[in-house]
């Protein structure tokens, strides 16, 4: 894949509402800001391994949400900014929490022909096994992916467990499935340790792929909800 997507982990990545259920029922705004050592999307750096500041705003009402999120990028072609716009629906069906929506990836200063902008629709679900193991799975589909490369699917799964009151451990795996004429399908994976303190969230994450030319990396991210 030529793109040199965290958004991290599960987009689903990476699309957090940040509002409590009680507030969301009445409608609530929330924001977030992150300092990360490397913006990695589906296993591939978006900043050429450099640190970056990111942030976004969301509005949630009942089971619906909309939001936007932005980050600096460095693709080596003059592109410096990514802005995402998204919206979705988060119903609960039995023991499953669902997330169904769409996201538009916009690069305002990217070269044209072919276009770097693209849209994805996504659907996912999560549930808790036993008392504390949370598992989830999702799929995202783009009818015309990055650089106008045609159909693309992204399949992902995750599992997480709490470690005491303020720590958590999670693992994710994803598979990028591109149109046959493009090729380059690959698998990415991550293992993360998260904790919260004094209003901040710290994420320590090892990320890798099965692409021979793509180096595994360790990413440190510090976030705060606004």
**DSSP character for 148?**
G
Alpha carbons 162 and 141: distance in angstroms, whole number: 31
pLDDT tens for 70-90 read 999 999 999 999 999 999 999
pLDDT at 181: 73
Annotated domain spans of the chain: 11-225
pLDDT above 70 for 17: no
pLDDT tens for 175-222 read 999 988 778 999 999 999 999 999 999 999 999 999 999 999 999 999
Mean pLDDT of the chain: 89
* 34 neighbors 47 (Cβ within 8 angstroms): no
Alpha carbons 134 and 46: distance in angstroms, whole number: 28
- Compute the average pLDDT of residues 132-136: 96
Statement: the pTM of the whole predicted model exceeds 0.95: no
pLDDT at 180: 80
Domain 11-225 has CATH 2.40.30.10: no
| Six token digits for residue 21 | 């259920």
Q: Which segment of 12-21, 64-73, 192-201 scores lowest on mean pLDDT?
A: 12-21
pLDDT tens for 138-181 read 999 999 999 999 999 999 999 999 998 899 999 999 999 998 87
**DSSP character for 143?**
S
């Amino acid at each position: 894949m030529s793109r040199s997507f965290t958004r991290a982990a599960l987009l689903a990545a990476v699309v957090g509402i940040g509002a409590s259920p009680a507030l969301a029922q009445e409608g609530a705004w929330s924001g977030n800001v992150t300092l990360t050592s490397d913006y990695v999307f589906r296993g591939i750096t978006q900043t050429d391994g450099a640190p970056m500041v990111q942030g976004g705003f969301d509005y949630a009402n009942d089971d619906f949400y909309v939001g936007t999120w932005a980050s600096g990028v460095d693709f080596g072609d003059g592109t410096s900014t990514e802005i995402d716009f998204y919206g979705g629906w988060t119903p609960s069906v039995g023991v499953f929490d669902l997330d169904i929506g769409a996201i538009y990836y916009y690069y305002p200063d990217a070269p044209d022909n072919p276009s770097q902008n693209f849209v994805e629709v996504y659907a996912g679900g999560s549930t808790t096994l036993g008392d504390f193991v949370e598992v989830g799975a999702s799929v995202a589909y783009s009818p015309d992916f990055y650089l106008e490369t045609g159909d693309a699917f992204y399949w992902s799964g995750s599992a997480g467990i709490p470690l005491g009151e303020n720590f958590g451990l999670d693992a994710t795996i994803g598979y990028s499935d591109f149109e046959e004429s493009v090729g380059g399908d690959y698998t990415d994976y991550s293992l993360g340790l998260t904790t919260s303190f004094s209003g901040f969230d710290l994420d320590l994450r090892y990320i890798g792929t099965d692409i021979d030319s793509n180096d595994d990396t360790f990413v440190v991210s510090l976030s705060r909800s606004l």
